[in-house]
Amino acid sequence: MAKYERVIVVGGGVGGMTVALALHRAGIPVEVHERHDSFQHHATGFTIWSHAVASLLKLGVSLGSAGQPIEQTEIRNQAGELICQMPVGKISRSLGADSYEMQRDAMLKAIAAELPDGTLHWDSECVGIEEVSGQACVRMADGSQHQADLVIGADGIHSVTRETVAGKVALRPSGYCGAAAVIQFSHPDCPPHTHIDVWGHGGKAGIADIGQGQLRWYTTWKVPRKQHGPEAGRRSKAELLAHLENWYGPIGDIVRATPESQIRQNIPSDIPPITRWFRGRVVLLGDAAHATTPFAAMGANMAIEDAGELADLIVGCDHVEQALEQFQSLRKKRTEGIVKHGRFMARMTQLHSPLAAWLRDQAFLHMPAEEIDKVTKEMASGS
């Protein structure tokens, strides 16, 4: 293993925290610089599949209070009719670990609990990186500078470190706006350990049990591509409810019960493939390297995969450059394929034509059980 006296991780999200813990477990000094003052101001959640859960458990992360194992995923049409049921729990356990619905900030706190005090630096914003005497020098917004043997850019879709490695990269908006929240809520049509995904006309929605009496929900709607900026496509709570009026009943019920101040909205975007993921002593992972939309349900999972692969290579390679080259070679094609698949899933699950949506639903309604198991296994295993 090459000698590492200091590794700096830029970004305290899923990929950044996971790679920091993996390096710490390997005995490598690491620090995380996060530009915000907490993990998350709006409670949201995501699906973490079996293979990624296994990686976190291997690192000693306790997930009990961060989420809830998934037993089944129900796919319903806009009217609420069941068109497919995926046996996520059974398939995941056959792979060695449950798949989970997670609350994002709770999962990050669980990872942080395994790191030494002083590892995580809040309100510490990276504004640039330079090469200095064979090391990477990180410049902070407060004027301070920090040198490291390696800088890992895990600073998300709006990555500053990506500019150092690949220059400016334009985001590709998905064409949809989304709203999401996590609240204390129960509903007779939302059973425990269940994720309900509703495929509609020109949008989608969903509800998932994340444990401790909490449900997460999400919904999307079409946005004209000419609309840009942080306010583009946004809707008031009243407008959301009007949009969902003819949808599966529990969706409107949970939105109605959510305080408007807790609803987070954004336009999901991804980035086109970039030529390289590293330059000198700076390497990218997670959304900084391959930002994707949420429609393939793989963004956080890819970041966890990246973190494990990169940490293993850092430990196993004799030279920094060798580790970074192998990391890019191992991960680039796979992650770019998932980004492309996310764009396909955005179109398929949000078809505008009622006839096309009906044909899609009929295809899934009559899908053989063994094919459903196969698709479920592919998602849970990350294959």
Domain residue limits, the chain: 7-37+122-172+270-346, 175-267+353-381
In percent, how much of the chain has pLDDT > 90?
Answer: 83
The strand pair at 100-103 and 72-77 is best described as unpaired
Higher-confidence residue of 136 and 232: namely: 136
Residue 95 has what pLDDT? 97
Residue 228 has what pLDDT? 61
Hey, is 16 helix, strand or coil? helix
Work out the number of other CB atoms within 10 angstroms of the CB of residue 123.
Answer: 13
Separation between Cα atoms, residue 86 and residue 172, nearest integer Å? 31
Residue 224 has what pLDDT? 75
Q: Which amino acid is at 229?
A: G
Nearest to 178 by CA among 232, 241, 141, 220: 220
For the segment(s) 7-37+122-172+270-346, the CATH number from 2.40.10.10, 3.50.50.60, 2.60.130.10, 3.90.1170.40 is: 3.50.50.60
Dig out the tokens for 358 from the structure.
């009906």
The CA–CA distances, whole Å, from 149 to 70, 124, 131, 134 equal: 40, 19, 10, 8
Whether residue 231 has pLDDT greater than 80: no
Higher-confidence residue of 25 and 41: namely: 25
**For all residues of the chain together, what is the average pLDDT?**
94
Work out the number of other CB atoms within 10 angstroms of the CB of residue 66.
Answer: 25
Model confidence at 377, pLDDT cuts 50, 70, 90, reads very high
Tell me what the mean pLDDT of segment 302-323 comes to. 96
Model confidence at 229, pLDDT cuts 50, 70, 90, reads low
Model confidence at 233, pLDDT cuts 50, 70, 90, reads confident
Whether residue 54 has pLDDT greater than 80: yes
Q: What angle separates helix 320-349 from helix 299-316, to the nearest 10 degrees? A: 170
The tens digit of pLDDT for each residue in 69-94 reads 999 999 999 999 999 999 999 999 99
Nearest to 55 by CA among 285, 307, 251, 248: 307
Tell me what the mean pLDDT of segment 248-277 comes to. 95
Residue 202 has what pLDDT? 87
**DSSP code per residue over 167-178:** -----EE-SEEE
Separation between Cα atoms, residue 293 and residue 215, nearest integer Å? 21
Separation between Cα atoms, residue 246 and residue 229, nearest integer Å? 29
The tens digit of pLDDT for each residue in 102-145 reads 999 999 999 999 999 999 999 999 999 998 888 999 999 999 99
Cβ neighbours of residue 224 closer than 8 Å, sequence gap 6 or more: none
Hey, is 197 helix, strand or coil? strand
Residue 296 has what pLDDT? 85
Backbone angles phi, psi at 119, to 5 degrees: -70, -40
The answer to whether the CB of 135 falls within 8 A of the CB of 145 is no
Model confidence at 230, pLDDT cuts 50, 70, 90, reads low
Whether residue 227 has pLDDT greater than 70: no
Tell me what the mean pLDDT of segment 98-103 comes to. 96
Separation between Cα atoms, residue 157 and residue 288, nearest integer Å? 5
| CATH number for the domain running over 175-267+353-381 | 3.30.9.30
Tell me what the mean pLDDT of segment 363-383 comes to. 93
Dig out the tokens for 1 from the structure.
């293993």
Dmax over CA atoms of the chain, in Å, equals 63
Tokens 């909205």 -> residue: 265
Nearest to 218 by CA among 157, 269, 156, 265: 265
The tens digit of pLDDT for each residue in 246-262 reads 999 999 999 999 999 99
Tokens 């806009």 -> residue: 78
Weakest mean pLDDT among 100-109, 220-229, 230-239, 305-314:
220-229
In percent, how much of the chain has pLDDT > 70?
Answer: 98
Tell me what the mean pLDDT of segment 143-164 comes to. 96
Higher-confidence residue of 279 and 42: namely: 279
Whether residue 225 has pLDDT greater than 70: no
Weakest mean pLDDT among 30-34, 53-57, 344-348:
344-348
Instruction: Specify the pTM.
Output: 0.94
